[in-house]
Structure 1
Amino acid sequence: MVETETGLKVKCLRSDNGGEYIDGGFSEYCAAQGIRMEKTIPGTPQQNGVAERMNRTLNERARSMRLHAGLPKTFWADAVSTTAYLINRGPSVPMEFRIPKEVWSGKEVKFSHLKVFGCVSYVHIDSDARSKLDAKSKICFFIGYGDEKFGYRFWDEQNRKIIRSRNVIFNEQVMYKDRSSVVSDVTEIDQKKSKFVNLDELTESIVQKGGEEDKENVNSQVDLSTPVVEVRRSSRNIRPPQRYSPVLNYLLLTGGGEPECYDEALQDENSSKWELAMKDEMDSLLGNQTWELTELPVGKKALHNKWVYRIKNEHDGSKRYKARLVVKGFQQKEGIDYTEIFSPVVKMSTIRLVLGMVAVENLHLEQLDVKTAFLHGDLEEDLYMIQPEGFIVQGQENLVCKLRKSLYGLKQAPRQWYKKFDNFMHRIGFKRCEVDHCCYVKSFDNSYIILLLYVDDMLIAGSDIEKINNLKKQLSKQFAMKDLGAAKQILGMRIIRDKANGTLKLSQSEYVKKVLSRFNMNEAKPVSTPLGSHFKLSKEQSPKTEEERDHMSKVPYASAIGSLMYAMVCTRPDIAHAVGVVSRFMSKPGKQHWEAVKWILRYLKGSLDTCLCFTGASLKLQGYVDADFAGDIDSRKSTTGFVFTLGGTTISWTSNL
């Protein structure tokens, strides 16, 4: 077959020492045809590495397909055959992501005829094989393709035989293992008989019009599960894509007209709002007895500070002007001004896990915000700070602030706040989760409460609203709190809950829009994949000339990667692998690397509404793991990834080299 289809002669056959290869008749045939036989040494499969690697790939994929469908082991050969069929029609890494079938035949491969292995299928019964009142179809199970023959292959369990057919309706949502739930009455299928395609007429029509495809190709590639309709042509106006311009001020962190310093705040058109925000901050600081004025001791240095201004967008669309006094902590010296600085925050996977529990068990979900959280932490070192700009006490200009409580910007501020909060939670009977030290749980007779802490943001989940309100009162007595009511937003992620349908969505669509706008990609043409198969990124594509290095120095590569990474970590597992790949070239990104980053942004443009949706299905936890076996071009290392789902919704994922 190989010699006939390619015009080339088989010169060598490499195999192991299996009896089927060293049999006298086979050896004599090869000798007569001039085919050299190479036999590997026993116990050394690496000498035939390409074939052994493919054997493993076939076996693993076939096993997965068979187990997913729930078919018995007796169908292993069908699963392997189907796996080989699919591999020949999928992109091949050694062939530079080209499709083997297309390279072999020189014809374009279609995919519309591909179906899920082991799914329920309703096979049409010819009129001469049934009476007028018999059913027009019977339930079978799809087990493969016809290869050199037309149609599909099916397992007819009722008659215990394998049949072939081309007039079929597939139900790809139901597998063999779910066959008990399939109703044997196929009256509904009979009513859909108009969907069956007259394959002969369709084939003849296509051949007459096109002339390039033969009947075999057409018969194997017609999707028999849907009616044939004419292709709809787009009426959209085609416009050239807008390229990223490096002169954009992409490094600005304050893109919403926020002042950079105290003087700018006083000259801003909203100066009155900024002044009110600074006064509120100072009232909190003084009311909390954060410092006391004193003379600076000999040998001590006073830390500097600055005002930081932000405009907060609330979930209801309103804007809140916020000013924060921040200490310049980079002036601190280890061992003198601080020792330990580590402070935990709740893990993203814990947040998603709790949200899944909220959806399944229909729990209340409330949110609290701690006003000036770091001010509650008690300092263990003697620290001094100059008086805040704009609020220097008249007549005491020479005095400095001796800090009694921690302030934002201090290296130990997060740690001191967490220690105080942790002690309080233990006092009121909450237990800290061992695997996440920012998750606290308290059990009651018929209910429980879960509290998650991310610096100054809190989520509280529980079935008893009275218990939750009691916890809020206890927290408000100890700390200055702001009750935000039912949770609407956490860490820039929107929480959209539909109690009627029992769903809870976690979305970052607004964040993604800001990212696209920041990199001038909000008008880019969307794509359907996170990273195109034509991207084969390597270190060889890094800049080699001074001109290329100068060009890439103006491209915000690291900034874009950081923005993508936050979306990936929070709600977008679909871009985890793509972001991991482009992150490998942070030190020396080239033009191709930047094109890949823009491709990911274009993918996000086309999937703005993609989010995590938790339903009330179940609390069943499932995990999946896979590796690409030496997929990195430069190091030949493997990329490993895992996904864990709760009730079918992803809660934890990673993609690592």
Structure 2
Amino acid sequence: MSSQGLKCLHSKGKLPDLKSVEVDFCESCVLGKQKRVSFKKTGRVPAKEKLELVHTDVWGPASVSSTGGKQYFVTFIDDHSRKVWVYFLKHKSEVFDAFKRWKARVENETGLKIKKLHSDNGGEYEDSEFKRFCYLSRIKLSRTVPGTPQQNGIAERMNRTLTERARSMRLHSGLPKQFWAEAVNTAAYLINRGPSKPLDLAIPEEIWTGKEVKLSHLKVFGCVSYVHIGDHARNKLDAKSVKCTLVGYGEDEFGYKLWDDQNRKMIRSRDVVFNEKVMYKDRNTQVSEPEEPEYFGPNDVSENRVLEPVNQNDEEQGVPLQVTDPIPYRDVQATQAESAVRRSTRTPIPNRKYLQYMLLTDAGEPECYDEAYQGKDASKWELAMKDEMKSLISNQTWELAKLPEGKKALQNKWVFRIKDEHDGSKRYKARLVVKGFQQIEGIDYSEIFSPVVKLTTIRLVLSIVAAKGLYLEQLDVKTAFLHGDLEEEIYMQQPEGFAEDGKEELVCRLTKSLYGLKQAPRQWYKKFDGFMQGNGYLRCNADHCCYFKKVKSSFIILLLYVDDMLVAGADLEEINNLKKQLSSEFEMKDLGAVKQILGMRISRNEQEGTLKLSQAEYVRKVLQRFSMGDAKSVRTPLASHFRLSKEQSPKTEEEKDFMAKVPYASAIGSLMYAMTCTRPDISHAVGVVSRYMSNPGKLHWEAVKWILRYLRGTTERCLTFRRDELKLEGYVDSDFAGEVDHRRSTTGYVFTMASTAISWMSQLQKIVTISTTEAEYVAVTESSKELIWLQGLLAELGFDQVMNVLHSDSQSAIHLAKNSAFHSRTKHIDLRYHFIRSLIEEGVLKLVKIAGSKNPADMLTKPVTTEKLELCAASVGLQE
């Protein structure tokens, strides 16, 4: 058939079966600017016009939420032009909304209507509203046969291409995983402007718009850039630019999308200078190392090459922006040569977030075995891995064996950390970790719970140490989890890089527990607990990680937190004997006199008889992380003008997008760790802002920043234990209906030993009380439970407490606790809250009135004035 004959048929809307022929089309052919279409190569007949056939599919969920909180993305592909649009979603249920937005957009651009939508059988496409909308819009829905994803191959292939390209771009730049959406969106932007193999190397964007594509504005993803700061946004002596990282291009407006790592925000700008030789991972170095370019081949620029999904802040990532910097059109080979990928030899610096009780650590560690051997510290990491293997072999952790039929060998990986020692040096540490998530309950493990010492117990023992002038030593167990004996039969693959020559086909039959196994902490604790009790130590019933032993006329207390130990005693010789006993059973590291524990610094002054527990360094790291290191300080943790409620949660899409970029949960986790360790003065404020974790608003975020500003001015504040009488006292208070949403009251209590706080709490009550008296009465009962626990622990340590005083500023609550005759007024109160009456009758505690102006528990229930806050802090030993 001639080209002219085909043209006539084509112009009449007919198209013969040309799957087995190869023909030339004339310039006026509706297939666009293609000079040649090889049906032998493509095996398909492209759609005759735009939007005649649209392919769609959903990818996700991602292992890490994007910077905008997204977990999925959906793609829409025009079959005619092969142009792809990407929209990012928090939930699959948002696909319908994304489709409606995309439909309105493309139909407005082209003036054409979508005729057919091809998808798989995902539930998001089976939604009744989705079907009804397509029916009313005259859109034919076409779905694959169940279990045959290949029938949706175009969309599936595109999702794979996007994810693979995004993965490569992100790893090359060293950006953290939460930037996966930015990388995916950039990959889609480049695919639309690159040669497409199904279109015989035509460019999708040109076919879609009918205009020549400009490529001069393209830069290397993840490279360092310098964004100009206008005169209106800076002072005369301020810097004229800010150092950022390129993470994408504009969509509907001009400009580049850049990440300001210092201020943790996205910036859009056109006034940018790029340094494409320096990536995000190398941003702290002034000169990049020599790099060997690697060029894309013909297959790499086609749709058959893909990247892994990347993150994005904007809710809608549609057609990326078209920048109008003019440059002459270049052929494919020239474009490929100019877009050569540079691979740095530097080790990527991961950006890790810990959401709960976050201990911030320095970055700079490799993420896998290959990175460790390719980095500049390869020799140090190799030495660390050999040291770990030496410990594993000497401990006889496994034996090589053939994998039994029906058994599965668990995988493992190397984990690398750089530890900061108390003397300022750095220690390179490598751990072989089993991928415990592959274990199956009932087969590979059963019970997994393992206790750790309570922070309250640590503070209580520190108060005893200060009051009695005891020695306090610290020990660390090397490879603690390797000492546990396994009760299950578990197999593991040989460690990467250390497979035994000639026995590569064998696997490791574990005889001892290993890091990463779900039961490893429990097995280690059982082994240690058996050793301690076998050597005459008593395990405290109040805290199973606290051990006590009377030695001659003295005693020894040992506290265990996983593999860290604190040993307190009056006789240094007996402490050394304990160290020898432990070293004979476990591989120990003697750290001498204690310097820090769990990120808390411990400093002693023998002359003044004081012991200070501080988190100043941790607080500074938190402030630096959230760009509050130079913020203006305030004098209270929560100002009285903050009346937070659920009504202040985001209501508009704009507010939701703004809050999606805010690290609210991460900030709360950081503050909570400081609060539970050494800072009772922020307990009430942290408790208030943590109520809105699920849906925080701008005012909630302002309150969090206010707390950070308070810490900025009180960084050096710490708990100071003194040489004083070991007397346990408690202070309790309650507000009345202080919570705006449900009108519940807040219980606050603090217990001191030798006038320094050892236990505190600020918590919403579980019931709605109907009077101030009732709220105070409930608070007294709740605090009495903690008092009984502390008395029990002290008794086990040999410091019996008799008739401890619990101070309350509510006279009516005290009368109610002492007098059961008020039945008519109190019969609605739950019986469990009358527990305090039996304690008073039995003489376990004494409930005493204290003036409200002198009650330190006030700071745990409500915002207080600066003067009152200082008084409360001083009353519980919290000082600079």
Question: Normalised by the shorter chain, which TM-score bucket?
Answer: 0.5 to 0.7
Give 1:434's aligned amino acid. Answer: N
Structure 2 CA distance for aligned equivalents of residues 446 and 633 of structure 1: 56
Write out per-residue CA displacement over residues 544-566 of structure 1, whole angstroms, 9 at most, x where no aligned residue: 11221121111111111111111
Structure 1 residue 305: deviation in Å? 1.2
* Of 718, 740, 750, the match for 1:633: 740
Q: Does 1:535 align with 2:642?
A: yes
State how far apart, in whole Å, the 2-side matches of 1:457 and 1:488 are. Answer: 12
Structure 2 letter corresponding to 1:379 = L
| Conserved? CA contact 2:351–2:363, under 8 Å | no
Deviation at 1:246, TM superposition (A): 3.1
Alignment of 1:107-146 (within 5 A): none
Task: State the one-letter code of the partner of 2:612.
Answer: K
- Residue in structure 2 matched with residue 326 of structure 1 by the alignment: 433
Could you say which residue in structure 2 is the equivalent of 1:373? 480
1:449 matches 2:556: yes
Output the amino acid matched with 1:245.
R
Shift of residue 339, structure 1, vs aligned partner: 0.6
1:554 lines up with 2:661 in the alignment = yes
Are the aligned partners of 1:430 and 1:442 in contact in 2 as well (CA < 8 Å)? yes
Deviations, residues 604-649 of structure 1 (Å, cap 9, x unaligned): 1111100110010221111011111111100111111110001110
The one-letter code of the counterpart of 1:367 is: Q
Candidates 763, 766, 778, aligned match of 1:656? 763
Matched-pair contact (CA < 8 Å) for 2:675–2:682:
yes
Paired position in structure 1 for 2:165: none
For the Cα contact (< 8 Å) 1:505–1:612, is it kept in 2? yes
Residue 342 (1) aligns with residue 449 (2): yes
Residue deviations 1:372-421 (CA, integer Å, cap 9, x gap):
00000000001111111111112111111111111111111010000010
Write the mapping of 1:386-535 to structure 2, written as runs, cut at 5 A: 386-535=493-642
Distance 1:264 1:416, change over 3 A: same
Aligned to 1:355: 462
In 2, the alpha carbon distance for the partners of 1:535 and 1:305 equals: 49
Q: Secondary structure at the match of 1:532?
A: coil
* 1:175 equivalent in structure 2: none
> Distance between the aligned counterparts of 1:346 and 1:448, measured in 2?
19
Structure 1 position 643 matched with structure 2 position 750: yes
Is contact 1:244-1:521 (8 Å) kept? no
Between the aligned partners of 2:489 and 2:352, the Cα distance in structure 1 is: 36
Distance in structure 1 (CA, Å) of the matches to 2:720 and 2:454: 19
Q: Is the 8 A contact 1:623 1:643 kept in 2?
A: yes
Q: Does 1:290 align with 2:397?
A: yes
1:555 maps to a residue whose letter is V
Distance 2:484 2:742 in 1: 47
CA distance in 2, matches of 1:465, 1:245: 50
For 1:247-262, list aligned pairs within 5 A: 247=266, 251-252=352-353, 255-262=362-369
1:303-361 Cα offsets, whole Å, 9 max, x none, are: 11111111111111111111111111111111111110111000000000000010010
For residues 351 and 631 of structure 2, what CA distance do their matches in structure 1 show?
17
TM-score by length of 2: 0.47
Provide the rounded CA distance (Å) in 2 between the counterparts of 1:519 and 1:238.
24
Contact 2:353/2:666 (<8 A) preserved = no
* Separation in 1, partners of 2:740, 2:353: 35
Q: Which moved more, 1:301-310 or 1:494-503?
A: 301-310
Structure 1 letter corresponding to 2:442: G
* Partner Cα separation in structure 2 for residue 238 and residue 629 of structure 1: 51
Quickly say closer, same or farther: Cα 1:356–1:247, change in 2 above 3 A.
farther
* Mapped partners of 2:579, 2:675: distance in 1: 32
- The residue number in structure 1 matching 2:265 is 246
> Percent sequence identity over matched residues?
71
What's the Cα RMSD here?
1.9
The runs of 5 or more residues in structure 2 that have no matched partner are: 1-235, 240-259, 268-349, 355-360, 765-880
Structure 2 counterparts to residues 85-104 of structure 1, below 5 A? none
The Cα of 1:250 is off from its aligned counterpart by 6.1
The amino acid across from 2:480 in the alignment is A
For the pair 1:599 / 2:706, whether they are aligned, the reply is: yes
- Alignment partners' CA distance in 1, 2:664 and 2:374: 34
Match of 2:42?
A: none
Q: CA deviation at 1:576?
A: 0.8
* Distance in 2, Cα, partners of 1:247 & 1:427: 59
Name the CA shift for 1:377/1:645 in 2 (closer, same or farther; >3 Å): same
Asked if residue 267 in structure 1 is aligned to residue 346 in structure 2, the reply is no
Q: CA deviation at 1:252?
A: 4.9
Residues 294 and 399, structure 1, Cα contact 8 Å, conserved in 2: yes
Letter in 1 for 2:462: L
SS in 2 for 1:451: strand
Provide the aligned length of Structure 1 versus Structure 2. 420
More moved, 317-326 vs 370-379:
317-326
Deviation at 1:247, TM superposition (A): 4.8
Letter of the 1:533 partner, please give it: S
Is the alpha carbon distance of 1:574 and 1:387 closer, same or farther for their aligned partners in structure 2, counting shifts above 3 Å? Answer: same
Q: Separation in 2 of the partners of 1:492 and 1:349?
A: 15
- AA partner of residue 650 (structure 1): A
TM-score for both structures, normalised by structure 1? 0.62
Letter in 2 for 1:506: L
Shift of 1:244: 4.6
Does the aligned pair in 1 maintain the 2:615–2:678 contact within 8 Å? yes
Relative to structure 1, the CA distance from residue 408 to residue 259 in structure 2 (aligned partners, 3 Å threshold; closer, same or farther) is: same
Once the two structures are overlaid, the 10-residue window that deviates more, 541-550 or 284-293, is 541-550
- Report the secondary structure of 1:597's partner residue: helix
Unpaired runs of 5+ residues, structure 1, are 1-236
Matched letter for residue 655 of structure 1: S
1:80-116 deviation digits (Å, cap 9, x = unpaired)? xxxxxxxxxxxxxxxxxxxxxxxxxxxxxxxxxxxxx
